[in-house]
Every structure is written in structure tokens, then in C-alpha cells.
Amino acid sequence: MLVHYLENTFQQKIDAETRIEPKDWMPDKYRQTLIRQISQHAHSEIVGMLPEGAWISRAPSLKRKQILLAKVQDEAGHGLYLYSAAETLGISRDEMIAQLHSGKAKYSSIFNYPTLTWADMGAIGWLVDGAAIMNQVPLCRTSYGPYSRAMIRVCKEESFHQRQGFESLLVLCQGSAEQKAMAQDALNRWWWPSLMMFGPHDSDSTNSEASMQWKIKRFSNDELRQRFVDMIAEQAKVLGLTLPDPDLKWNEERGHYDFGKINWEEFWQVVGGNGPCNKERLDARKKAWEDGAWVREAAVAHAEKRAARKAAVAA
Amino acid sequence: MVSKTTDTSRITEQEVWSILEKVKDPEVPVLSIIDLGVLRGVQLDASGKLTITITPTYSGCPAMDTISMDIRLKLMEYGIREVQIIQQLSPAWTTDWMTEGGKKKLRAYGIAPPNPKQQVCHQELFATEAIQCPHCNSWHTELISQFGSTACKALYRCTDCREAFDYFKCH
Amino acid sequence: MLQTITKDTGNSGLSSPFRGTGGFILHLADSALVLGQRNAEWTAHGPVLEQDIAITNIALDLIGQARNFFAYAAQAYNESKDAGKASFNNLLPRPWIAFNRELQEDDLAFLRDERQYLNLLLCELPKGDWAFTILRQYLFSAYQLPLFQQLAQGSDQQLAAIAAKGIKEVTYHLRWSAEWVIRLGDGTEESNRRINKALTELWPYTAELFEPSQIELDAAASGIPIRLEEVQVSWQNHIHRVFGEAGLTVPTNKPFQKGGKAGIHTEHMGHLLAEMQYLQRTYPNQQW
């Protein structure tokens, strides 16, 4: 009876677009869905630092080195925001990290692809960050307060990344023939995986329905994917690059670009752990965590000593 | 209001300032480069040559290249094509230059604005400073990370409403 | 034995302001660049997210400082008269000569040969464990801060401005690294063991911080206010205070490793450069 009443009040708030705050009552399933989604998002930021971080030492100019360092720092900062937002739901960061390391929690599969040339940095900014923004902008209005507020700031910073990625590709495309070829090759490799970032077709998506009702999610996978294709197809013209899809063409009737079939087998293989870099990424995260254990222990030990000394002085 | 067909022979320095109010920080777009204190000078000489002076917030701030480009683009909208942009390092930028209006906008955006300088910027080790939660105004907050997603911010948590929020560090 | 840099080389009234200072500016740039490069190896691999961000941010600050110094060196070179240019000949990147254009910051940062880099050896050593990285950063920041404070007072306005800009950042670096030295020294047995090991390994490389080399002598003769003996006093005071709190003993043995400021490096340097320079060398004279 009480639960029924609480659930009604909760859904009324959602319907009235009132944000749910950490101390409000919420259905357990809502809490779990949010924890899963926010922590997955946080893990994606952290794992996503690896393929880009690998190019900091090789960045071709001081300016690009700065931009890349700042970008990866941004991602770490976003990870931190998001872990903190998830913590308001009653899970600790250590628990979330343990779930990542055990394979229980997922992260965006896109980061299981390798970064092979410098142009991949531009392609990631343009396509991967572009797709991420497409997915994330609606989250600025998501029903959970701390998540929506975190997403507003994350999205602004991500837009800056996308712009920098596009600009970096533009410079390559206006450069030598070799540089332009490098940019085209990066686009060829990153295009299809970025389309997969929107998840399975709506008809095959399992978590969507409740998320839509609770306004955690506001647009379907296919809607967002279409928006992304429409945007990138136009931007590619500015760069003078060709999207690697012979079926891509403007459909006057629909007012959208038609595009070819996504290789879902590849998608499920990568999600299932068989992508080119799944093992490397997870191993790198685990190693950093294990190698850092003594550092974290020392910090705790010192903080305790310092607190004890302070208490002794006060006494 | 400045018309969009102005050229530098007819425009005044004051009008350039009001145009540049529209150039925003690329990562914190609620702040203009004037709010932030990054725009240091607008100079229009007798021959109509326009010189704009900006200063970086941090030596490594990657937004400076973007800001320079945005200034050019914005001025171009008003028909001003010839402009020289100078990056000036001295005197070094400080959060004291952030305008009061800028601080209000930051707070409304969910970022705690920099404290007045005398309170902080100390060299004392292991010191903590009191930061007000921009969400619920509580002073019961704790530091999560001295460095945030960008160099100019630190991350705090409110122990009352549990919000994690950015603090624009005093510099 | 330390000496005061007041040697009069009789070079007053130079035809070019650049003469005598070029090597020194590159030295400042190279140390910041190389240490930034090393610290950035931690990015995405830090012991905990907050510190991953902190060390990345410090790397970013250092690369930013390096860029300011390189841009200044390139500009000063381009604006120099022949005599000033000639004094810089042996520091020019060889591939640049064929480009037939003005010198740019990236030419200096990415295209010199190993023997032309003038950074402190301390900066190029592999990153080691967290204790090694922390202690190296601390030893460097405690030196960089008083050095920049001197440079900020100088009459070379651009150099003074770059240094003044850097002071605030370095103040943060020093505070952050000092806190970590204390945490590790006065943390667990394991952290204490590791920081002591790092100290043993790093101490020999502190010699060249304070021993004036030709580049500093030349810069001082050109009017740059460098007084390394004062930098050393400030450094020692800071270290005594922080080591005291960390429970570390300041080594008494005399440090002896040097050579970086004369372009004689450790074996690690070539590998660092090979990785850092590869795109610029593979695709020369391109825009990025």
C-alpha cells in the first residue's frame, strides 16, 4: 500500500519533469538502472583514456600535445564527476571499480578498437565524441538530478573535444596527400564502430522501455543513430572525406540519409569480449589499480596518523 | 546595437568590446572572455588597425587557440576582417579579474566561483578551504580532487545534498 | 664547489638581445618539455583517479611552459641580427635548414639531435614508480620555483613574463608534490621504503641543478638575473622542512651526475626522443 503510494508520487514527479534527488524515495529498479548506466558511463570515460593517452608521447606538435593532454584530463574529470554522481545512489567507487575489473560492469565497446595512427585522434574526437554527445545531450534532461546536472557540464566540455577533433582532421585534410590519406584511413576504420555506439536496433534493445518511462532515456537508439549519420554526412563534405558506405545517400522523402547495414555480429563479438583490444584495456586498468594499491594504502595511513595527531593536540 | 556590416573605419573600441562579450569560454560557455578576464585590451589606431590583447589563464591552457579563432570569427560576422590578436603573458592572469557578473553566472551554472584571494592561494601544506555548495548553499563540503576536468577547477562534494560540484580555483 | 655567476665576458652592448641567452632559454624549455613528457606517461595509468588527473595536469602545465619558452626562442632567433644568430648555430635543428622558412617552436622542440637538448638529466630519467615520480617532481619544483622567481625580476621582459606566469603553476606543483613526499615518507612501511629508494636513486642527479654551466654563465653575462647559489639555499631549506616532516634523511653524500646542460645525456634520452619526434621526422615540415 505504502509502496504503491510512493510509486505513484514518484511517477507523478517524473511526469511533471521534477528532478529526483538523492534523498528522495525511488523504486529499487530505478536506482539499479541508474547505477548501471552512470557507472558504465564513468567506466567508459576511464577506459577511453587509454587509446588516446597512448598518443600523448607521440603527438606531432606542442599544441596538439597540449590539446590531447587536456582532453584526456577532461575525460578523467568526467569519470570522477560520474562516479561521484553514482555514489549518491549508495554505491562506492571501489565497488564500481571492482565490477569493472571483474567484467561484471561494461564500458563503451568503441574503446576496444586500437588507435593506429595520429589521425585516429582526430577521428575519435569527431566521430566518437560526436556520437557520445548525441547520446548524452538528452541526458542533460534526465530525471535524476545529480546525473542531469553532471551531464550539462560534461556535454559542454565534450562539444569542445568534438570541435578540436574536427579541426585536427581538417588540418590533415588540407595538408599533404599522405596526411589526407591518413585521415581517410582513420575514418574508414572508425565509422562503423561509431554507428554501433548507439546500441542495437530498438527492436533488439532490452533495457529501453523502462528507461523511457522513467525519463532516464528520452530518444531511442535508432533515432539518435539517424541524427548522427545526418550530421556526419554533411561534415564529411567539409573535410572532403568519403564515408565508407556505398549505400549512404540522401533520401528526399524521409528527409534523412539512408545508410547501409551494420555488422551486428562484430558488435556482439566486441561486446562479448572478443574485440581487438578488450583484453589490453582491462589489463591496463587492472595493472594501474594493482600497482597503485600501496600508494592508496600509504595515503590512508598518513591521513589517519595526521588525524590522530590533530586529535591528540586538541585533547 | 552594432550593425553587422561595420568596418573598422566606423567602429569604436567600445563597440568591439560589446561584440566580444559574445565570445564565450569554449568549455564554460556561460562565461564570456570578458567575464573571465581573458580579454585585456582593444586598441583601434588612427588608421583603423584593430589590435586585441588576450591573456592565457594557464600556461598550458588549450582553449587559447580556440578563443583566438572565435574572436576572429565573431568579428568577421560584423565585417571586421583585419585584426591582430596578441597573447600577452604579463601581468599574469588571476581569478581576481573575473567579474562579479561572471561569478554569479558560474554559480548559476553549478560551479562554485573562486573565493576572494586573501582567503586562499597559500603555500601551507595539507590546508583545506571552505567552499559553498552552489546547489544547496551549504558550507558542509569536502574536497574530492585538487584538480578537476580542467586545470582551473577542483572537485568538491556537498555532504548535505551529496552533489558533486566543480570549484573554480583561486589562481 | 659553487660559484657565483658574475663572470664578466665583456659582452655588454650586444648587437642582438638573443646572443648569450639562446642556450639558456632552450635549457628551460627542454627541462619542462622532457619532464612533461615523462609525467604524461602516467596519464590513464595513475594509482587513483584524482592523482591521475593531478600528474596529467602537471604535465600539461610543463608542456605549456615549454611551449612559451620555445616560441620565445624561435621568435628571438628570427628577429636577431647575424651575430646573435651565429651564436645559436650549433643549436639549430638540422632538418629545419632545408625548410627555407622562419624558425618555429615545433622545429626546436621536435627536430634537434640528442646532443642539442639541454635539459637536466633529472628530468629524462624513466618515470619509475609513484615514489620516484613524486620525489623527482618535488626536487624539480623546489628548484624551478626560486629560479622562476629570479627570472621574473629580470629585464628581459618576455622571459620575465613566462616565468611569472609559471610561478603560480609551480607553486601548486610544489605544494602537491611536497604533500605526497610527506604522505609516502610518513605513510606505510612499504611507502617509506620506496621513497627512500627513490631518494637514493635521484640524489646523484641533483648536482647539476646548482652547478652553473656555460649556458648559465653566458645568460648571466647577458644580464639574465640567475643566482643559482640562492636557488640552492631556497631548495635546501624547503627540502629540510619537508623531509623533516616526511621522516626522510637528507643524504650527506655529494651528488655527482651532470651533463644535461652540455647536451650529454643518459641512455634513456634517445628513446624518449625517438618516440616524441617520430611524426615530425617522418613527415617533415607539415602542418598538424
Residues A198 and A225: beta-carbon distance below 8 Å: yes
* Closest partner CB to C44 (pick from A50, A83, A301): A50
Which helix or strand (DSSP H or E) is residue B54 part of?
strand B50-54
Q: What is the ipTM of this complex?
A: 0.94
The class that CATH gives domain B8-93 is: alpha beta
Amino acid at site B80: I
How many CB pairs lie under 8 A apart between chains B and C?
71
Residue contact C64–B58, C-beta within 8 A: yes
Q: Look at chain B and count its residues.
A: 171
Give A227→chain B minimum CA distance, Å. 23
Residues B168 and B57: beta-carbon distance below 8 Å: no
Calculate ∠ Cα A211-A216-A222, nearest 5°: 65
Q: In this structure, what are the phi and psi dihedrals at residue C28, rounded to the nearest 5 degrees?
A: -65, -45
If we measure between CA atoms, which residue out of A119, A147, A113 comes closest to residue A276? A113
Grid coordinates representing C96 are: 629545419
Q: Which chains touch B (3 or more CB pairs under 8 A)?
A: A, C
Q: How far apart are CA C69 and CA C27, in angstroms?
A: 9
Q: Do residues A306 and A238 both lie within one domain?
A: no
End-to-end CA distance of chain B: 35
Task: Walk me through the domains of chain C, giving residue ranges and CATH numbers.
Answer: 20-282 (1.20.1260.10)
If we measure between CA atoms, which residue out of A146, A70, C52 comes closest to residue B146? C52
DSSP state of A144: B
Q: Which residues pair with B112 in a beta bridge?
A: B167
Q: How far apart are CA B137 and CA B135, in angstroms?
A: 6
Q: Do residues A266 and A283 both lie within one domain?
A: no
DSSP string, C53-77: HHHHHHHHHHHHHHHHHHHHHHHHH
Residues B61 and B20: beta-carbon distance below 8 Å: no
pLDDT at A41: 95
Mean pLDDT, range B57-79, rounded to an integer: 90
Q: Which chains touch C (3 or more CB pairs under 8 A)?
A: A, B
Amino acid at site C263: G
Q: How far is CA C58 from CA A14, A289, C36, C65, in A?
A: 43, 21, 7, 11
Q: In this structure, what are the phi and psi dihedrals at residue A211, rounded to the nearest 5 degrees?
A: -60, -35
pLDDT at A207: 66
Overall domain count for chain A: 2
Q: How far apart are CA C258 and CA C262, in angstroms?
A: 9
Dihedral of the alpha carbons of B38, B43, B48, B51, in degrees to the nearest 10 = -40
Q: Do residues A140 and A20 both lie within one domain?
A: yes
Grid coordinates representing A49 are: 583514456
A199 is in which domain, residue-wise?
1-274
Amino acid at site B131: I
Q: Residue B123 above 90 pLDDT?
A: no
Mind listing the pLDDT tens digit of every residue in chain A (315 residues)? 688 899 999 999 999 999 999 999 999 999 999 999 999 999 999 999 999 999 999 999 999 999 999 999 999 999 999 999 999 999 999 999 999 999 999 999 999 999 999 999 999 999 999 999 999 999 999 999 999 999 998 998 899 999 999 999 999 999 999 999 999 999 999 999 999 999 999 888 776 777 888 888 888 899 999 999 999 999 999 999 999 999 999 999 999 999 999 999 999 999 999 999 999 999 999 999 999 999 999 999 999 999 999 899 887
pLDDT band per the 50, 70, 90 thresholds, residue B121: low
Q: Do residues A144 and A269 both lie within one domain?
A: yes
pLDDT at B129: 81
Residues 6 or more apart in contact with residue A287 via CB below 8 angstroms? C45
If we measure between CA atoms, which residue out of B70, B102, B63 comes closest to residue B85? B70
Q: Which residue has the cell 556590416?
A: B5
DSSP state of C254: P
Residues of chain C with pLDDT under 70: 1-19
A38-52: b or e for each residue (b if 16 or more CB lie within 10 Å)? bbbbbbbbbbbbbbb
Per-domain boundaries in chain B: 8-93, 97-168
Would you put residue A243 in left (φ > 0), alpha (ψ -120 to 50) or beta?
beta
Strands (E), chain A: 249-251, 256-258
Q: Which residue has the cell 582593444?
A: B42
If we measure between CA atoms, which residue out of B64, A54, A64 comes closest to residue C286? A64
Q: How far apart are CA A152 and CA A156, in angstroms?
A: 7
Residues B156 and B147: beta-carbon distance below 8 Å: no
Calculate ∠ Cα C262-C264-C269, nearest 5°: 125
Q: Residue B122 above 80 pLDDT?
A: no
Residues C178 and C136: beta-carbon distance below 8 Å: no
Grid coordinates representing A20 are: 529526483
Residue contact A57–C41, C-beta within 8 A: yes
Q: Which chains touch A (3 or more CB pairs under 8 A)?
A: B, C
Q: Do residues A201 and A144 both lie within one domain?
A: yes
CATH number at residue A135: 1.20.1260.10
Q: How far apart are CA B64 and CA B57, in angstroms?
A: 8
Give C119-175 pLDDT, tens digit per residue: 999 999 999 999 999 999 999 999 999 999 999 999 999 999 999 999 999 999 999
Q: Do residues A168 and A282 both lie within one domain?
A: no
Q: Which residues of A touch C183 (CB under 8 A)?
A: 298-299, 302
Q: Do residues A281 and A248 both lie within one domain?
A: no
pLDDT at B146: 87
Q: Does B146 touch chain C (CB under 8 A)?
A: yes
DSSP state of C283: S
Q: Do residues A236 and A305 both lie within one domain?
A: no
Interface test with A, best of C242, C272, C279, C281 (most A CBs within 10 A): C279
Grid coordinates representing A237 are: 563534405
Q: Do residues A80 and A30 both lie within one domain?
A: yes
Q: Which residues of C touch A178 (CB under 8 A)?
A: 283
- Whether residue A244 is preceded by a cis peptide bond, meaning omega within 30 degrees of 0, is no
DSSP state of B12: -
Q: Which residues pair with A256 in a beta bridge?
A: A251
Q: Which residues pair with B155 in a beta bridge?
A: B145, B166
Q: How far apart are CA C110 and CA C108, in angstroms?
A: 6
pLDDT at C6: 32
If we measure between CA atoms, which residue out of A143, A124, A120 comes closest to residue A20? A143
